[in-house]
């Protein structure tokens, strides 16, 4: 890991306490260009984390609050007519920034979600029939609240698959909560912190190229494919998985395997290694695969979760 990213970690630690997994995933997204879906209850530093990340890399940042009355043009921008010259000019929307926080993404209707999907997948938007490229560093971190689902629009599977990682946040430990309270009262958490990070957008883009040189052993590649294929019909993968028969409707796609390995590359690079270890892949298995699996009604009744399926597969099909 370069000195610039070490300083970025130090910068993020000034704002975030007890969410080391979220910090790692944000850095992975930054190093791979992969988008993140973060699910957690209010007050777990989701917004604070991505704002601190943008500040640490000196990138243009925009927070978009998704609501039921949001329109696609509120994201993309619009053509503005000038009657004095009888001409149109394009007014860019908030998606033309480098780091985007899509807050409570499941509260926006399908048209808005679809507009964001094109931006995430193609890194461009289409307005008035003309395609316009987005910044080279374009990272979307979307959040959703697992509670208060009334009046929301669940993300379709096609859009979920566009996220590299689905990060599920839990409450911090008791000690971390104490540290948050103590540092907030003393004024040493967040607001008054001075960033020591000198990392810039061009340096991030250069780091992305070096991440691509991290080696993944062919044996690990085969294991990744085996695990991803096993999510589609786990009972056929190993005798110990017979209890999962009928629990999964749809498993992970090949995009899941690609995202998993790309994320593991970034994690190895952050650990100053030029090769992926089995532990890198095991650490990221849930985040890379959980949003790509659809459970059956039988699983919902039995209380079998996507994380349980992934954990069981990785246990009965251990990495080489």
3-class secondary structure for 226-257? HHHHHCCCHHHCCHHHHHHCCCEEECCCHHHH
Give the whole-angstrom CA distance, residue 28 versus residue 139: 11
Strand-strand pairing, 130-133 and 124-127: antiparallel
- Domain hosting 57: range is 3-186+198-208
Residue 25 domain-assigned? Answer: yes
User: Beta-carbon neighbour count of residue 222 at 10 Å?
Assistant: 11
For the chain, 320 residues long, give each residue's pLDDT as a single digit of tens: 566 888 888 888 888 888 888 999 999 999 999 999 998 888 888 888 888 898 889 899 999 999 889 999 899 998 888 888 888 888 899 999 999 999 988 888 888 888 888 888 889 988 877 888 999 999 999 998 876 666 677 888 878 888 999 999 888 889 988 888 888 888 777 654 555 677 888 999 999 999 999 999 999 999 999 999 999 999 988 888 988 999 999 999 999 999 999 999 999 999 999 999 999 999 999 999 999 999 999 999 999 999 999 999 999 999 98
Residue 193 domain-assigned? Answer: no
**Is the distance from CB of 8 to CB of 197 less than 8 angstroms?**
yes
The CA angle 34-35-41, to the nearest 5 degrees, is 140
Residue 144 domain-assigned? Answer: yes
**Is the distance from CB of 190 to CB of 15 less than 8 angstroms?**
yes
In a shared domain, residues 76 and 170: yes
Domain tally for the chain?
2
In a shared domain, residues 203 and 218: no
In a shared domain, residues 146 and 174: yes
How far is CA 179 from its chain centroid?
26
Give the domain CATH number at 293: 1.10.8.80
**Is the distance from CB of 187 to CB of 56 less than 8 angstroms?**
no
Instruction: For residue 1, give Cα distances in angstroms to 9, 27, 31, 207, 278.
Output: 11, 11, 11, 9, 19
């Amino acid at each position: 890991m370069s000195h610039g990213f070490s300083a970025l970690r130090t910068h993020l630690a000034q704002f975030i306490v007890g969410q080391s997994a979220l910090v790692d995933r944000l850095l992975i997204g930054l190093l791979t260009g992969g988008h993140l879906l973060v699910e957690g209850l209010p007050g777990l530093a989701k917004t604070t984390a991505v704002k601190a990340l943008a500040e640490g890399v000196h990138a243009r940042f925009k927070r978009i609050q998704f609501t039921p009355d949001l329109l696609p043009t509120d994201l993309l921008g619009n053509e503005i007519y000038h009657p004095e010259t009888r001409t149109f000019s394009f007014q860019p929307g908030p998606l033309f920034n480098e780091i985007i926080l899509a807050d409570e993404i499941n509260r926006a209707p399908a048209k808005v979600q679809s507009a964001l999907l094109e931006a995430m997948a193609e890194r461009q938007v289409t307005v008035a029939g003309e395609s316009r490229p987005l910044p080279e560093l374009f990272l979307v971190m979307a959040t959703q609240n697992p509670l208060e689902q009334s009046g929301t629009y669940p993300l379709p599977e096609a859009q979920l698959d566009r996220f590299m990682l689905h990060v599920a946040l839990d409450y911090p430990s008791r000690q971390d909560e104490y540290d948050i309270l103590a540092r907030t009262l003393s004024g040493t958490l967040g607001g008054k912190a001075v960033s020591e990070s000198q990392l810039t957008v061009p340096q991030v883009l250069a780091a992305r190229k070096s991440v691509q040189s991290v080696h993944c052993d062919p044996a690990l590649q085969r294991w990744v494919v085996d695990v991803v294929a096993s999510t589609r019909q786990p009972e056929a993968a190993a005798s110990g998985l017979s209890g999962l028969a009928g629990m999964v409707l749809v498993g992970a796609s090949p995009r899941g395997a690609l995202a998993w390995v790309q994320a593991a590359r970034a994690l190895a690079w952050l650990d100053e290694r030029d090769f992926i270890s089995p532990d890198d892949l095991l650490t990221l298995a849930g985040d890379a695969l959980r949003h790509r699996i659809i459970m059956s009604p039988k699983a919902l009744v039995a209380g079998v979760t996507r994380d349980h399926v992934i954990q069981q597969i990785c246990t009965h099909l251990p990495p080489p």
